[in-house]
Amino acid sequence: MERTSARIGRGVTAFAALAAATLLVGCASPLTDDDPGEGVPRSEPETLSESYVCGWHRFPASAIEQPRRIADLEPDERAAITGATDDLGEPLELGDLASWIVISANDENIALIRPNSERPPGYPDSVPELAPMPDYEEQSLFRSTKTEGWMYGSNGRCRLTFDLGDLQVPDVVLDPERSPDPDSTELPLLVLDSSCGGDTDMPDRIEVVSVEESDTEVGLLLGTSPLPEGAYACPGFSPTPYTLQLDAPLGDRVVVDLSRVQRLELTDATAAAVEP
């Protein structure tokens, strides 16, 4: 991997307003332009091609590449899913059962995910392009010790990313207030760690895992070191302006977020679209 440097930029935008729409977990003392920080890409994590993360769930990549469906489960596991209820006794509505992928199942817990790129309820329509959309939804179930039946636990939207091991996967977008200059080697970004207190010690906790430059693309993979007390989704704070130093001027190359399993291309002055 090539050496890269990064320094904080100026200006924080409406991207902060979209923190509430994320389900990712994640979380560096502030630097100034007079005191640029320097990040050295670490070697590619061993887990990068072996496991994925979506929301709270970490699971083998094979769960997506060779998906196990509800119909593939044992009869008692299928019955646990179809008979699960909420805390009021209402049945769990999963819609098309064939659309769900079983990422884990045991005697106590079952976790399901499925592709879903529709705009989540409450996701702002006024500035929809400023944050990457969730591309999956998740549903977990657990065996209740009170009812002796199965109940559903967490559910929501998540982004399917590569597992960075001891690092969290932040949201990364191009900074709308500092549009990239094709003739510059500086790439202005916004980095958002959505865990509670995720803006603590930023940008020091931002790590450049890798930067891959070619004639047509700039692929970037950033992580954030977790906070000591753990990570819980907690919206309401601003993303961190961050400038990545490239080896060559950006030119007309596209910028790609390499953390996402599905290709995520960051577009000029906003952030972008997931391609199948």
61: its two tokens: 């990549």
Position 54 scores a pLDDT of: 92
**Could you give the CA distance from residue 276 to residue 117 in angstroms, rounded to a whole number?**
11
Position 123 scores a pLDDT of: 58
Question: Cβ of 270: how many Cβ atoms within 10 Å?
Answer: 18
Question: Is the bond preceding 203 in cis, omega lying within 30 degrees of 0?
Answer: yes
What confidence tens digit (pLDDT) does each residue in 160-214 have?
A: 999 999 898 988 989 888 889 999 999 999 888 877 666 777 888 899 999 999 9
With a cut of 50, say whether residue 232 has pLDDT above it: yes
Position 192 scores a pLDDT of: 84
* Mean pLDDT, all residues of the chain: 77
* DSSP per-residue letters across 141-152: EEE-TTTSSEEE
Question: Cβ of 237: how many Cβ atoms within 10 Å?
Answer: 18
Position 129 scores a pLDDT of: 47
Mean pLDDT, to the nearest integer, of 100-109? 95
- What is the 8-class DSSP label of residue 6? E
Domain residue limits, the chain: 52-162
